[in-house]
Every structure is written in C-alpha cells, then in structure tokens.
Amino acid sequence: MGFDDADYEKASAVCPKTAIYHQAGNSIVVDVVYWVLKELFNVMPYLFENIQFLHLFSGIGAFEKAFYRVIYEANSADSKGGDLLE
C-alpha cells in the first residue's frame, strides 16, 4: 500500500492489528496517488505553490504521504538547480 515499517510501528502503538488491517484495506495506494500528483505537478506546478492541508477524515494518510513525497522531490531538485521532478 506504500506505507513503510515506521508507519506501521506508529500505528500499532495505538491501534490493534485488526483495525490497522481494516484501515489499510480501505486505503488508497500511496504510490498511485504519488504518480498522479507528480504528473499534475509537472503539468500545473502553480497549483502547488501555496497549498495548505487540513487533515479531517484523512484515513491513514495516503494522500498526505504521497503529497509530501512530491514536494520533497521538488524541493530537492530545485535546491540542486535541476529540473523539478524529471
């Protein structure tokens, strides 16, 4: 689903395994959201300029995790002087 072991450890500290499995089964795959956001960023980067999040009913955070990956890559490429998200 695109979540790493650290995400699982955080969740398992406060939720029973059955609840985690249920949430993961209803989640959107992080990598799919990531590639959709990445392509959107390549086509319309102005949409990402002053974006803010309000985390209401966001499930286990697939959208947030994917979005932060896109922004991290964009900032890394920008600071190195390269093209954003090539």
Q: What local confidence, expressed as pLDDT, does residue 85 receive?
A: 46
3-state SS string over the chain?
CCCCHHHHHHHHHHCCHHHHHHHHHCCCCHHHHHHHHHHHHHHCHHHHCCCCCCCCCCCCCHHHHHHHHHHHHHHHHHHCCCCCCC
Q: Please, which residues have CB within 8 angstroms of residue 29's CB and are 6 or more apart in sequence?
A: 1, 2, 62
The model's pTM: 0.57
Please give the pLDDT value at position 43. Answer: 92
Q: What does the pLDDT look like over 29-74, one tens digit per residue?
A: 888 888 998 999 899 988 888 877 776 666 667 778 888 888 888 8
CB-based contact 11:20 (threshold 8 Å): yes
Instruction: Give the tokens for residue 27.
Output: 């989640």
